[in-house]
Amino acid sequence: SYKCNFIAGVPTLFEALLRQSVMKGVDLSCLKGVFSGGDSLSVELKKRFDVFLKEHNATIEIREGYGTTECVAASCLTPFHCSKEGSIGLPFPDMYFIIVKVNTTEELPYGQEGEICISGPTIMMEYINRPLETADTMRVHEDGRTWIHTGDLGIMDEEGFVYFRQRIKRMIITSGYNVYPSQLENTLDAHELVHMSCVIGIPDSYKMQKVKAFIMLKPGYQPTDANKQVLMAYCKKTMAKYAVPCEIEFREYLPKTLVGKVAYRVLEAEEIAKKNPEPRQSVAV
C-alpha cells in the first residue's frame, strides 16, 4: 500500500537502475523527487535517466545537488522549476557560495573558475583534535565571515547557479595543461558503446602525467581492439589533443567506494603498482 515518493543517491545508483531488468514496466508516477549527489552527475547520465523516468510515467526529472561533510548535508540544489545543464543548482536559503582563486581568499568574478567556498549556519565547528586541518579548511575572509574551502573547482554564473567542475586534487596536469577527468568522462559516456567511464592520470617521466581511460561497455558490446580503436578515434575527434587518453582499458566493472562512487584512487594505485612492482623476496634454501 506504500509507494516510493523520493529517491536520493549517487550517480552509480542511477546507472544501476538503468540496467535492472526488474524495472521494466514499473510505474514511477508516485515519485515526487529524485536527487543526485555525492559525485558528479554527467550530462549524458542525466539525459538517459530523465528519459527513463518519463518512460515510467514519472512527471519529474532528476535534480542534482551538492554538499560536503563539513556543511553537514546538502547546501545547494537544482530548483524544481528551473535547471541549467551541468549545474548543481542554487545555494539553500542562508547558505552562501563564492568562488575564490585557488590557495587564496580572493573572490573571483562570475564565470571564472576557482575553488568553491561555503558559509552559513550549517558549517562545522572544527575537525576534532586536528587544528592544522581545521585552519586550512576554515578561513576568515575580508568580509568577516568564516568560509569552508571545499577543495572543489567550480564556477558561478550571474544568476547564482553553481557548476561543479572537479576535485582540485583529481585534476591531471599533462605537458603543462590542466585536464579535468569529469569533462572527459562526460564526453566518453556520450558514446553509444560506453556505459560508464573513469579517467585518471598516470605517472609519466616526460609529461608528468598521462591520461588513461577505464571503460565499462554497454551490454552486447565486446572488449575488442576494434571497439577500442573506435573509441580512440572518437576521443581524437572530440577532445583537445593533449587530453586524448594514451590508453583505454576495458573493465567489466569499475571499483566502487562504500557509498557507491567510482573509486578512482583504486585505479590510480593499481597503475602505480604496475610502475613500481614490489621486489620479490629471496628464499633461503
What tens digit of pLDDT does each residue of 95-121 get? 999 999 999 999 999 999 999 999 999
Specify the higher pLDDT residue, 38 or 244.
244
Cell numbers for 183: 569533462
Confidence label for 283 from pLDDT (cuts 50, 70 and 90)? low
* Residue 132 one-letter amino acid: L
Cell numbers for 164: 561543479
Residue 284 has pLDDT above 60, yes or no: no
Q: Which residues of 124-134 are buried (b: 16+ CB within 10 A; e: fewer)?
A: eeebeeeeeee
For 171-275, CATH number?
3.30.300.30
What tens digit of pLDDT does each residue of 147-179 get? 999 999 999 999 999 999 888 888 898 988 889
Residue 138 has pLDDT above 90, yes or no: yes
For 75, half-sphere exposure in the C-beta direction (CA atoms, 13 angstrom radius) is 24
Residue 1 has pLDDT above 70, yes or no: no
Confidence label for 214 from pLDDT (cuts 50, 70 and 90)? very high
For residue 279, the model assigns a pLDDT of 60
Phi, psi of 134 (to 5 degrees): -65, -45
In the chain, where the domains are located: 91-168, 171-275
For residue 258, the model assigns a pLDDT of 81
For residue 260, the model assigns a pLDDT of 79
Task: Please give the average per-residue pLDDT across 3-29, as a whole number.
Answer: 90
State the DSSP H helix or E strand holding residue 189, giving kind and residue range, or none if neither.
Answer: helix 181-189
For residue 90, the model assigns a pLDDT of 97
For residue 280, the model assigns a pLDDT of 58
Confidence label for 281 from pLDDT (cuts 50, 70 and 90)? low
d(CA 237, CA 243): 11
For residue 139, the model assigns a pLDDT of 96
CB 31 within 8 A of CB 4: yes
Task: Please give the average per-residue pLDDT across 65-88, as a whole number.
Answer: 91
Q: Looking at the domain 91-168, which fold is it? A: Luciferase; domain 3 (2.30.38)
